[in-house]
Structure 1
């Protein structure tokens, strides 16, 4: 390991010389782990890497007389990976096992239910032999790296408890210790519930997907997941054709559903206010949009006069049509569109009664 021959009296000077390379190593690790997590489809809250500050190292040497050589300092380069869910801590651990040479692994957690502290996974490792042989990693080949993997809630606990300057149970005043125990228990319960919540959401999405594949999508309740699953089943082309004739600017409505996520969410909120409960009912609303073509044309005309050409977004157009049919929904929705669209809606609402 790096620094085997650097004794205690040489550590500070040697580390100063190595520090620039460690800073570069941290940057490389952050970019590499971001790519690895993306490739494995593990969504994380944050990946942060840093080289240990030389002054911090000197302080650590004073507090730990057992550090005899630079190789004893295992956290010269540190990486913190913050996940959303407890289950993903294990997935990140597997990733690190596969992609790095792990020398030590420990799960730091309370040994008893009422103990101070919170869980996190700590690993000591380095680039594996495969990467150490590549030119872009050669300069960091022997650097030890400390990996810390924890959830968002575990990270919050660590940040808050650290800000209070209590590093362990013994340092915590007895009169506040009980409250800290309760907080630790609540946060651990929160992690478990978030995991259950994700499992239920994924199960719901799988069920929606199966119903959509069977063609049994019309009875799905209107929510963001059902719309995102079945939106290609909705009469999108009919809505776009009306919008284009009304003067709206064409756009690629066959693109990935993420590009329409905001519009979908807004439409879902509107349908709930209007009492539209199923995707079949929503499809029926969309199929009637040609009734509103003249008033949509007025909306587009006024919007253009205000310097904005509205897009033929099928979900926005459906929302406009619902507002034209039930003007009170505009107030209930409490969503502000582009100022030019707002002016166009005003004009369209004033241009006539129900179609």
Structure 2
């Protein structure tokens, strides 16, 4: 054992570089595949944990190369479906040591609930280690685990309770673990289905936005599609180009949805109607709002045109066009942040918006 531990100590710099190289490669591969993950955890065994592993009576280690998980990487996904997608990616991009790899989900009895995770022992492929920056890692194996965030919660809680394998769990607790595992498995499936439904809805929204806006209710997805549609997107691009501004988008659509509800606007078609009827006066009002924000807002607003802010300005236009009072409207928008509510600032903004509206009408 002492020889293995000494060899480990002398190779720590290599393992540190291997950990960083493998983690960086995995991040690049996931990014290129468009797979978002919750977290990538990386670690190197320390001398104490390695000594504990070497002392296990059920294993025999004759050299450091017999220890396959000195470097470990854990990929935690948001969705259980992504576990399989990442598994396929790893099998394609790395040399997999199948004799020491496992898929705990596939190995479970169909009638049994339990911890599900994919564990690979891998090394860099021969093609990759022919590259100069990878050649020093030829033959070096490391562990990659893939699990969903719910599977991760299960494993962490089980470990925190002191159980490293299902054989250790007292019989009277096993049933409760099984019930919990079933709930988590069902939750994973429901999250997969929610994502599928969301993606299907987004596709439907984009097909409806140009042909059936009368049927399209206002929500975050329909507002995104509205901003990307004709003639809205070209107007925004022109507005930004005239001022040499970068077009950005704040993904928080809650204030706009709250504003449209206050105005009684429920469908995207009403926003199109307002844009069409507003014409040059509306365009001028939006320009004035942009200039006002650039002159009084934070530094970032001076160099960027926020598409989402333009939607809010459109609701300001509707308030003014309908000759409604700005004060209750702005107060309703501020209701979620009462600690930041300042009546004097609200009144000043209301006066400014009335002035900009009058100025836009010419």
2:24 alignment partner in structure 1: 31
Partners of 2:315 and 2:65 in 1: how far apart?
Answer: 64
Q: Contact (CA 8 Å) 1:235, 1:287: kept in 2 or not?
A: no
Aligned length: 337
Shift in Å, 1:330: 2.8
Partners of 2:286 and 2:227 in 1: how far apart?
Answer: 25
1:199 alignment partner in structure 2: 196
Deviations 1:168-221 (A, max 9, x none): 334334454433222211111110000011111111112222334x64445322
Partners of 2:87 and 2:112 in 1: how far apart?
Answer: 27
Relative distance call for 1:129 and 1:345 in structure 2 (3 A) is same
Residues 172-187 of structure 1 aligned to structure 2 (within 5 Å): 172-187=169-184
Q: Does 1:269 align with 2:265?
A: no
Q: Contact (CA 8 Å) 1:298, 1:344: kept in 2 or not?
A: no
Residues 108-119 of structure 1 aligned to structure 2 (within 5 Å): 108-109=104-105, 110-111=108-109, 113-114=111-112, 117-119=114-116
Partners of 2:266 and 2:176 in 1: how far apart?
Answer: 45
Q: Does 1:283 align with 2:287?
A: no
Q: Contact (CA 8 Å) 2:104, 2:115: kept in 1 or not?
A: yes
Partners of 2:293 and 2:229 in 1: how far apart?
Answer: 32
Partners of 2:69 and 2:233 in 1: how far apart?
Answer: 58
Shift in Å, 1:101: 0.5
- Unaligned 5+ segments in structure 2 are none
RMSD of aligned residue pairs (Cα, Å): 3.8
Partners of 1:232 and 1:12 in 2: how far apart?
Answer: 60
Shift in Å, 1:348: 3.6
Relative distance call for 1:302 and 1:152 in structure 2 (3 A) is closer
2:249 alignment partner in structure 1: 260
Shift in Å, 1:329: 3.6
Partners of 2:136 and 2:298 in 1: how far apart?
Answer: 56
Partners of 2:8 and 2:259 in 1: how far apart?
Answer: 61
Equivalent residue for 1:79, pick from 68, 73, 83: 73
2:349 alignment partner in structure 1: 345
Deviations 1:239-281 (A, max 9, x none): 879x99xxxx95747x4xxx32336443133223433122111
Deviations 1:286-306 (A, max 9, x none): 445547978996997699578
Partners of 1:305 and 1:9 in 2: how far apart?
Answer: 68
Q: Does 1:103 align with 2:107?
A: no
TM-score by length of 1: 0.80
Partners of 2:4 and 2:134 in 1: how far apart?
Answer: 23
Partners of 1:250 and 1:131 in 2: how far apart?
Answer: 47
Equivalent residue for 1:138, pick from 112, 135, 139: 135
Q: Contact (CA 8 Å) 2:35, 2:82: kept in 1 or not?
A: yes
Shift in Å, 1:326: 5.7
Q: Does 1:330 align with 2:333?
A: no
Equivalent residue for 2:166, pick from 143, 163, 169: 169
1:5 alignment partner in structure 2: none
Relative distance call for 1:335 and 1:351 in structure 2 (3 A) is farther
282-291 vs 126-135, which moves further:
282-291
